[in-house]
Amino acid sequence: MNSRKRLLIVDDNKSIHEDIKKILAINLVNLEIDKFEELLFDEKKETKTSSIDFVIDDAYQGEEALQKVEDAFKESFPYSLIFMDVRMPPGIDGIKTIHRIWDQHPNIEMVICTAYSDYSWDEIMEKFGFTDQLLFIKKPFDAISLKQITYSLTTKWEIGQKNKEYMAYLESEVEKRTAELKKLLEYMRILKEKAEESDRLKSSFLSNMSHEIRSPMTAILGFSSLLEETDLSKEKKSQFISYINNSGLNLLQIINDIIDISKIEAQQLKLYMSACQLNLILLELKDVFEQQIALSKKNIQLILKNDVFENKLKIYTDPLRLKQVFFNLVDNAIKFTSKGSIELGYAIENELIIFYVKDTGIGISNDKKDIIFERFGQADDLFFKNAKGTGLGLAISKNLIEVMGGHIWLESELNVGTTFYFSLPYQLISEDIIIEPKIVSPNSESSLNNKRILIAEDEEINFVYFNELFSLKKIQSDWVKNGQEALDKLSSENNYDLVLMDIKMPVMDGVEAMQKIKQLHRKTPPIIAQTAFALIEEKENYLALGFDDYISKPINIDELFILLHKWLSPSY
């Protein structure tokens, strides 16, 4: 703030201006003397007024005063004190002038200078209401009181200004803090809502999951006990078996989803990236999609755009996980579409390949577009009652795509349809590193005739299953219940062509048994680990431990025979 104070003298009488200036100038003269004494005696003189320095302006009429007050305000050097005459003909009188000044600038201190009392104190107070900003001084002026009044009032004005500024600062601080608090409250509210939503989703997940697991279990248990009925027709039997089979697959899918989501949460999801030919990956899915659509008995057409299955584009990806994403999107598209089409295609943009799966289904409302990517998030609880699902598929897909360096999003219109897009980084890959899977027909089993397989398996039911399956294909199989028995059997008989070794077994587990067998015998048949399907990374460990190969449990028959051909057919 300017340390100088600005004063205005408003009087139609010029000599009053000079009188006031002269009185106030005495002080300036004193200040000069003080400075001189300081120089002479080299000692600092304490003067209370030394910091006050006045700029004094003149106005001779009320209107002129009003103008000067405005100008000073615009110059950011406002008046702190005005000496105001009362009668200033022909213009407005001092009282009116003060009124109008205070309308705009209520903080200016006023001293009314009057030769005789035009208005009494009471009259004036009545006009202005009670105020401490107004003083009377009678002409002729007493120099000391005029000076004192000037210093006190300008200091009072200054304190008032500082106070005002401080208040403004406090207000802005309070505003700032209030805004911060509001933000914090909003953040807390969102957190609270999220926590409540997550609780709600978790409990609805539990009840959904319990329903999801119990339904196929009920079908498996129910239809398998019905199979025991002796007088069932052949058609009925095969119908029941297909129910059991489908329910088993559903159950497996749910278990895989739960394991995947747990791995994602534990940040243990690993990808197995390799150079792949896109159409080979998609080719495998095409049959599955067509079969799914046929099974759904819905009037849905599968449309494949941009030769998605013919183009030999190569990408670097985890083929299993890519299939999983496609599978999930198409599965949902079928689930949520009653008629129309499901279209698959892709576009290439810069370094990205953007796939899409477009359906003509029920659509997803705007407010649900984010929720469905969250774990257990489903767009419509009511719809869920009619459609199967855990609410995990999209959460898993989103995570898989992001780990592979891509993005997933959607466009949708209610009752028109939904398009899911996902992008993946796309690199051109040279031909020589393409690993194309060899397709072996599972039906060419003649080369497997009379082969002997040792099955190390503690669960009798699993052995019975293998035994039934192998005898259909004329393969001989023997059963041992644990690793120790496998070791003993291979020491006493050396004509096995292959060993299927379970990992978890009592007495001696599969890993220890395999290692001991390999230590004891220079030449052993291939030893294949049977591993839990979901734990893909463990499979790699088994190879590192010394197994020749691995097969996922539950066993997929096609995979099993591809594996048997690989190890047992000389032509492979």
The stretches of 409-507 forming alpha helices (DSSP H) are: 460-472, 483-492
339 backbone φψ class: left, alpha, beta (φ>0; ψ -120 to 50):
beta
CB atoms under 10 Å from CB of 337, counted, come to 22
Least spacing, CB of residue 420 vs ligand ADP, in Å: 7
Per CB under 6 A, does 216 bind ligand ADP?
Answer: no
Per CB under 6 A, does 19 bind ligand ADP?
Answer: no
* Residue the block writes with tokens 């319990």: 210
Least spacing, CB of residue 311 vs ligand ADP, in Å: 25
Residue 20 or 269: the one with the smaller Cβ distance to ligand ADP is 269
Per CB under 6 A, does 285 bind ligand ADP?
Answer: no
Least spacing, CB of residue 344 vs ligand ADP, in Å: 13
Per CB under 6 A, does 362 bind ligand ADP?
Answer: yes
Per CB under 6 A, does 379 bind ligand ADP?
Answer: yes
Residue 408 or 503: the one with the smaller Cβ distance to ligand ADP is 408
Query: What's the CA gap between 448 and 469, in Å, rounded?
Result: 13
Per CB under 6 A, does 378 bind ligand ADP?
Answer: yes
Least spacing, CB of residue 284 vs ligand ADP, in Å: 20
CB 5 within 8 A of CB 53: yes
Total count of residues recorded for the chain: 572
Residue 110 or 293: the one with the smaller Cβ distance to ligand ADP is 293
Per CB under 6 A, does 332 bind ligand ADP?
Answer: yes
Per CB under 6 A, does 456 bind ligand ADP?
Answer: no
CB 414 within 8 A of CB 369: no
Residue 277 or 328: the one with the smaller Cβ distance to ligand ADP is 328
Least spacing, CB of residue 358 vs ligand ADP, in Å: 9
Residue 97 or 412: the one with the smaller Cβ distance to ligand ADP is 412
Least spacing, CB of residue 304 vs ligand ADP, in Å: 17
CB 408 within 8 A of CB 373: yes
Q: Are strands 352-359 and 407-413 parallel, antiparallel or unpaired?
A: unpaired
Closest CA to 204 of 398, 397, 381: 381
Least spacing, CB of residue 384 vs ligand ADP, in Å: 6
What phi, psi does 319 have (nearest 5°)?
Answer: -60, -40
Per CB under 6 A, does 530 bind ligand ADP?
Answer: no
Give the tokens for residue 318: 């985890």
122 backbone φψ class: left, alpha, beta (φ>0; ψ -120 to 50):
alpha
Compute and round to an integer the Cα radius of gyration of the chain.
Answer: 47
**Where are the extended beta strands (E) located within 62-122?**
79-85, 109-114
Least spacing, CB of residue 353 vs ligand ADP, in Å: 21
Least spacing, CB of residue 404 vs ligand ADP, in Å: 18
Per CB under 6 A, does 364 bind ligand ADP?
Answer: yes
Least spacing, CB of residue 301 vs ligand ADP, in Å: 16
Q: Are strands 407-413 and 417-425 parallel, antiparallel or unpaired?
A: antiparallel
Per CB under 6 A, does 261 bind ligand ADP?
Answer: no
CB 553 within 8 A of CB 532: yes
Per CB under 6 A, does 325 bind ligand ADP?
Answer: no
115's CB contacts (< 8 A; 6+ apart) are 138, 139
- Between the CA of residue 145 and those of 33, 132, 138, 139, 155, what are the distances in Å? 22, 17, 10, 12, 15
| Contact stretch for ligand ADP (CB under 6 A) within 221-229, 372-380, 444-452, 476-484 | 372-380
Least spacing, CB of residue 299 vs ligand ADP, in Å: 17
CB 212 within 8 A of CB 387: no
Query: What's the CA gap between 485 and 134, in Å, rounded?
Result: 113
Per CB under 6 A, does 78 bind ligand ADP?
Answer: no
379's CB contacts (< 8 A; 6+ apart) are 364, 365, 368, 371, 372
Least spacing, CB of residue 220 vs ligand ADP, in Å: 20
Coil, strand or helix at 511: helix
Cis upstream peptide for 140 (omega within 30°)? yes
Per CB under 6 A, does 253 bind ligand ADP?
Answer: no
Q: Which of residues 387-446 bind ligand ADP (CB under 6 A)?
A: 389-395, 418
Residue 158 or 380: the one with the smaller Cβ distance to ligand ADP is 380
The residue within the footprint of ligand ADP, chosen from 205, 336, 426, 550 (CB under 6 A), is 336
Q: Which of residues 470-489 bind ligand ADP (CB under 6 A)?
A: none
Per CB under 6 A, does 359 bind ligand ADP?
Answer: yes
| Contact stretch for ligand ADP (CB under 6 A) within 148-156, 384-392, 450-458, 483-491 | 384-392
Which residue number is nearest to ligand ADP in terms of Cβ?
Answer: 389
Residue type, 262: S
Per CB under 6 A, does 72 bind ligand ADP?
Answer: no
Residue 278 or 362: the one with the smaller Cβ distance to ligand ADP is 362
Least spacing, CB of residue 296 vs ligand ADP, in Å: 13
Encode 252-267: b = buried (16+ Cβ within 10 Å), e = exposed.
ebbebbbebbebbeee
Per CB under 6 A, does 94 bind ligand ADP?
Answer: no
Coil, strand or helix at 484: helix
CB 418 within 8 A of CB 333: yes
Residues in touch with ligand ADP (CB under 6 A): 328, 332-333, 336, 359, 361-362, 364, 372, 377-380, 384, 389-395, 418
